[in-house]
């Protein structure tokens, strides 16, 4: 997996990602302590609102940035967003009102919503070989998992020496270092859109293109359903671990970190194994079973929380969280490969921005559902509802994702005139022009060909 770090450009980008992630982790801990200082017993409400603001920013801003990404040099966009995030982190220790926290969090998350999809869309251009790109995806997932384990430990160590306000300074340094690493390399220019396939319309039309790409491409519709499954499992872990460990199992505070660490360990293990597995098995073969495993684990959790806990409950929870982390990583890690297969280079920013927005829309649904149901109806009801959502996502993905899903499809163009550049190599027929190529949704291919109108070329 580490062989991709031989590429200097990717090595610098990966280092920028890791440093920014650590900075973000420090900011998360510091923001929690700041909220407690400002709101006391209402700190949970402040953090919950900040989390909702984060999701709203992710869902609303990413598609707009995806529409504008082709007009802005990629390095300029990434560095500008790093500088914006650094400025916000530097300002957070000086706030005196809760509303100021909300405003700064919104600006911070808007910058992240612009940075992340643009960064993700750059990697397949830097690493065009599919094997290298698969390793990069696993390495990126590994970085997220390690950050979730490392940042809280680093914050705890630093807090024994300094006040939490200095953690924001560490976040600022992290974003500045990330920007410097991006500046240190030349990034591929945005791909020009061929004249024959040029985009038309304003910002709204371009912002909505990524969503239309998802809704028109079977494998991407399936991916969106799988994102709902992952969000159901992840929300159960993120929102309810502390209640399960402290209240229902009456375990010590440190066991909350141990349970969350089990989830991260499962995800990390899957990320390490996936590059080799994906050389032998198709994405669909791995991702769909992992989604059904997620639904099954949530259903088992619903049963387990409905009975009185015994000596078996704690090890069972650790095993369940480990398996949930593994299943989540198996679904999420290969998703970049599906986007790469489904969009042209010019459309990759819009595709990643749409994925970023739509997947976080799933989390915007499951986060409050996991919390509100657990608090008002009990943990078994919350686990059951999330299990139903996860099963619905897995079943929908199974129905939407064709068992045979080749990139190249033969198809018919009935609307293009003779002499159009796109059909120069096509065979004239009574209904139009027939040819085959790697099929992707764009201005010339607005709908996925049906089984009756398209034949598969292997």
* pLDDT-wise least confident of 131-135, 214-218, 280-284, 329-333: 131-135
User: Which position has the higher pLDDT, 158 or 320?
Assistant: 320
User: Which position has the higher pLDDT, 217 or 137?
Assistant: 217
Distance CA 43, CA 184 (A): 40
Q: What is the mean pLDDT of the chain?
A: 82
User: Which position has the higher pLDDT, 22 or 217?
Assistant: 217
Percent of the chain with pLDDT over 70: 84
User: Which position has the higher pLDDT, 375 or 174?
Assistant: 174
User: Which position has the higher pLDDT, 20 or 202?
Assistant: 20
Residue range 138-168, pLDDT digits in tens = 788 777 766 666 665 666 677 667 777 888 8
* H or E element in which residue 435 lies: strand 432-438
Confidence of residue 301 (pLDDT cuts 50, 70, 90): very high
pLDDT computed for residue 187 by the predictor: 80
Mean pLDDT across the stretch 320-344? 91
Cβ burial of 307 (10 Å; 0-12, 13-18, 19+) is exposed
400 pLDDT exceeds 90? Answer: yes
pLDDT computed for residue 46 by the predictor: 65
User: Which position has the higher pLDDT, 444 or 85?
Assistant: 85
* H or E element in which residue 84 lies: helix 74-91
Q: Do residues 360 and 58 make contact, with C-beta atoms less than 8 angstroms apart?
A: yes
pLDDT computed for residue 242 by the predictor: 79
Q: Any idea which residue has 């890791």 for tokens? A: 18
Instruction: Give Cα separations from 236 to 52, 145, 288, 310, 387 (angstroms).
Output: 16, 17, 20, 21, 10
Mean pLDDT across the stretch 190-197? 52
User: Which position has the higher pLDDT, 29 or 449?
Assistant: 449
Mean pLDDT across the stretch 378-402? 95
Q: Any idea which residue has 């969009």 for tokens? A: 343
**Domains in the chain: boundaries:** 1-190, 198-339+348-403, 408-456
Give the contacts of 358 (CB within 8 A, at least 6 positions apart). Answer: 59, 211, 214, 224, 227
Which one is the CATH code of 198-339+348-403: 1.20.1250.20, 1.10.3720.10, 2.60.130.10, 1.20.120.350? 1.20.1250.20
190 pLDDT exceeds 50? Answer: yes
pLDDT computed for residue 180 by the predictor: 94
Give the count of alpha carbons within 13 A of 330, CB side only. Answer: 28
293 pLDDT exceeds 90? Answer: yes
> What are the contacts of 160-165 at 24+ separation with CB within 8 A?
164/29, 164/30, 164/33, 164/34, 165/30, 165/34, 165/93
* pLDDT-wise least confident of 133-142, 231-240, 381-390, 400-409: 133-142
DSSP annotation of 187 reads P
User: Coil, strand, or helix at residue 433?
Assistant: strand
Distance CA 174, CA 24 (A): 8
pLDDT computed for residue 149 by the predictor: 61
Residue range 118-144, pLDDT digits in tens = 888 788 888 888 788 888 877 887 777
pLDDT computed for residue 426 by the predictor: 87
Cβ burial of 87 (10 Å; 0-12, 13-18, 19+) is middle
Say what the alpha-carbon torsion angle 13, 14, 17, 22 is, to the nearest 10 degrees: -140
Confidence of residue 458 (pLDDT cuts 50, 70, 90): very low
User: Coil, strand, or helix at residue 233?
Assistant: helix
> What are the contacts of 93-101 at 24+ separation with CB within 8 A?
93/34, 93/165, 93/168, 93/169, 95/34, 95/38, 97/38, 98/38, 98/39, 98/46, 101/31, 101/34, 101/35, 101/38, 101/46, 101/50
Mean pLDDT across the stretch 228-235? 93
pLDDT computed for residue 57 by the predictor: 78
Confidence of residue 195 (pLDDT cuts 50, 70, 90): very low
Distance CA 37, CA 31 (A): 10
202 pLDDT exceeds 70? Answer: no
Mean pLDDT across the stretch 381-408? 93
Whether 198-339+348-403 and 1-190 are alike in CATH topology: the answer is: yes
Which residue, among 352, 226, 231, has the nearest Cα to 287 in the 3D structure?
Answer: 226
In this structure, what token pair is assigned to residue 155? Answer: 């914050």
User: Which position has the higher pLDDT, 144 or 379?
Assistant: 379
Mean pLDDT across the stretch 328-333? 92
1-190: CATH topology: Growth Hormone; Chain: A; (1.20.1250)
Residue range 40-65, pLDDT digits in tens = 655 555 655 676 777 787 777 766 76
């Amino acid at each position: 997996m580490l062989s991709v770090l031989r590429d200097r450009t990717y090595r610098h980008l990966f280092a920028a990602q890791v440093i920014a992630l650590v900075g973000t982790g420090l900011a998360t801990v510091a923001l929690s302590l700041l909220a407690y200082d400002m709101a006391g017993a209402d700190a949970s409400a402040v953090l919950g609102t900040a989390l909702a603001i984060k999701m709203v920013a992710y869902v609303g801003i990413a598609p707009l940035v995806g529409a504008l990404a082709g007009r802005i040099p990629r390095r300029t966009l990434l560095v500008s967003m790093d500088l914006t995030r650094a400025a916000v982190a530097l300002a957070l220790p000086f706030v005196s009102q809760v509303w100021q926290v909300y405003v700064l969090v919104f600006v911070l998350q808007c910058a992240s919503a612009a940075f992340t999809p643009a960064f993700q869309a750059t990697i397949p251009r830097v690493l065009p070989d599919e094997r290298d790109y698969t390793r990069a995806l696993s390495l990126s997932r590994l970085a997220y998992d390690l950050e979730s384990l490392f940042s809280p430990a680093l914050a705890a160590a630093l807090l024994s020496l300094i006040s939490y306000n200095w953690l924001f300074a560490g976040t600022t340094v992290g974003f500045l270092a990330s920007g410097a690493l991006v500046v240190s390399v030349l990034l591929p220019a945005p791909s020009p859109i061929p004249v024959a396939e040029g985009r038309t319309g304003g910002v709204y039309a371009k912002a909505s293109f990524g969503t239309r790409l998802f809704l028109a491409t079977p494998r991407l519709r399936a991916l969106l359903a799988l994102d709902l499954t992952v969000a159901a499992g992840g929300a159960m872990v993120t929102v309810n671990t502390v209640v399960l460990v402290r209240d229902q199992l009456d375990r010590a505070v440190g066991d909350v970190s141990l349970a969350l660490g089990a989830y991260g360990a499962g995800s990390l293990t899957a990320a390490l194994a996936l590059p080799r597995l994906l050389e032998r098995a198709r994405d669909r073969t791995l991702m769909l079973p992992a989604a059904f495993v997620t639904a099954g684990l949530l259903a088992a959790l619903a049963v387990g929380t409905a009975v009185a806990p015994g000596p078996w409950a704690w090890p069972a929870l650790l095993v369940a969280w480990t398996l949930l982390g593994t299943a989540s990583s198996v679904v999420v890690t290969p998703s970049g490969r599906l986007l790469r297969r489904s969009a042209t280079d010019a459309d990759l920013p819009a595709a990643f921005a749409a994925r970023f927005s739509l997947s976080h829309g799933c989390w915007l649904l499951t986060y409050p559902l996991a919390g509100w149901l657990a608090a008002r109806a009990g943990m078994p009801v919350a686990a059951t509802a999330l299990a139903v959502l996860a099963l619905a996502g897995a079943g929908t993905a199974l129905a939407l994702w064709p068992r045979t899903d080749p990139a190249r499809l033969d198809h018919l163009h009935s609307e293009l005139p003779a002499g159009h550049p796109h059909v120069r190599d096509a065979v004239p027929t009574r209904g139009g022009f027939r040819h085959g190529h790697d099929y992707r949704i764009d201005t010339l291919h607005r709908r996925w060909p049906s089984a009756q109108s398209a034949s598969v070329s292997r």
